[in-house]
Amino acid sequence: MNWFARPILTAILGMPLTAPLALAADVSPMITVGTQEVGLTAGYMFSHRLTDLHKTKQHGPALMPSWMITLTDPIGDSWYRGQISLGAEMVYLEFREPLLTHGVGFTPRIKYTFVALGRVRPYAEFAGGPFWTDLGGRIREEAIEFNFVLTGGVGVSWFLTSQLTVNAGYRFHHISNAGIAFPNLGLNASLPFIGFSFYF
């Protein structure tokens, strides 16, 4: 093989190996302070009756559009290296038992994203805020329509491009009126979810 053909053949044979590496490098996210994130998450609630007094088997779909902004550069030097984001989320829930009702709320949201794995980024999140539902007053767990919703969960984001992610995870939902009226046993549910986010 002459000196001219050898580098050409080497380049052609090496293309299948280098292409995935180039693609991975292209989508490596560069999330900096001030980066904004808009997302849409959807899931399905499954109720938890934590005591014998909890009787309602509420379940149904959930939809949660959100906005966040990155507050920090990566913090730490080990597996826990990550960034803090703060934002807000709208929460829409549809309760299909014991009767078809709805709920809507607004929650400030905080998220810690682990960045050590590159394009795959686990995170932990917490959100809480006012919540209105016409299920309140119709079940023994909630006396009034005005309540609060608290959520905590974990998830993982996979960067398809440097700006677009697919997200999946789990949240625990708690709805109660904070003692404004009684009874106030509260509603508790698991919420597995999927969604996507766009960074800019």
Q: Which residue type occupies 25? A: A
pLDDT digits 0-9 by tens, 55-85: 777 899 999 999 999 999 999 989 999 999 9
Which residue in this structure is represented by tokens 């917490």? 126
Rounded percentage of the chain residues whose pLDDT exceeds 90: 70
Does the CA dihedral 162-165-171-175 come out positive or negative? positive
The Cα-based distances of 161 to 113, 124, 197, 200 in angstroms read 17, 22, 11, 12
Tell me the C-alpha distance between 129 and 106, whole Å.
6
pTM of this structure: 0.84
pLDDT, position 1: 52
- 3-class DSSP state of 121: strand
Integer Rg of the chain from CA: 23
Tell me, what's the pLDDT at 55?
Answer: 77
Answer yes or no: CATH 2.40.160.20 is held by domain 30-199: yes
Residue type, 138: R
The CA distances from residue 57 to 137, 140, 150, in Å, are: 15, 12, 19
Find out whether 148 and 175 touch, Cβ atoms under 8 Å: yes
Cα(89)–Cα(197) distance, integer angstroms: 13
Question: What is the distance between the alpha carbons of residues 157 and 195, in angstroms, rounded to a whole number?
Answer: 9
Q: Is the pLDDT of residue 6 over 80?
A: no
Q: Which residue has the tokens 């009787």?
A: 55
pLDDT digits (tens, 9 = 90+) for 142-183: 899 999 999 999 999 999 999 999 999 999 999 999 999 988
Nearest to 103 by CA among 74, 69, 50, 63: 63
What is the pLDDT at residue 129?
98
- The C-alpha atoms of residue 97 and residue 44 are separated, in whole angstroms, by 13
CA distance 73 to 34: 9
